[in-house]
Amino acid sequence: MTQVEDCIFCKIANREIGSEIVDERETAIAFRDVNPKAPVHILVIPKKHIPQIKDLGPDTCEIMGDIFSLINDIAISEGISQTGYRVICNIGEEAGQEVDHLHFHLMGGRFMMWPPG
């Protein structure tokens, strides 16, 4: 398990390392994926270090509200709200989670296959 002090997404949220930040709220921030898999590929994360969905609870309602507020607004500003887009959260090894800081992939701008590979 990644420690907070080693967490790349905590460093991005704290602006200790650079990324292309798209928008933010009080408790959440959105930035472009460094290795995009779609024309629009943005990661939306809590500013606080929360590893996975299982770590969410009644005390994280504001954070999740901020995350989905960002997703809605960015889908509009990126021009994909009408054509459609994916919101993906990989959890654990079999889903391919690489970074142990909760993040939602907002992906769009191309046709998506279903089911994912």
Q: Which two tokens stand for residue 62?
A: 């504001």
- Contact indicator for 44, 70 with CB cutoff of 8 Å: yes
Identity of the residue, 62 or 89, whose beta carbon is nearer to ligand 5GP in the bound complex: 89
- Contact indicator for 5, 25 with CB cutoff of 8 Å: no
Whole-number minimum distance, CB 14 to Zn ion, in Å? 9
The span from the CA of 6 to the CA of 84, in Å, is 35
Whole-number minimum distance, CB 106 to ligand 5GP, in Å? 11
Q: CA-based angle 94:27:92, to the nearest 5?
A: 5
Identity of the residue, 13 or 75, whose beta carbon is nearer to Zn ion in the bound complex: 13
Whole-number minimum distance, CB 58 to ligand 5GP, in Å? 25
Which parts of this chain interact with ligand 5GP (CB under 6 A)?
8, 19, 31-35, 43, 90, 96-99
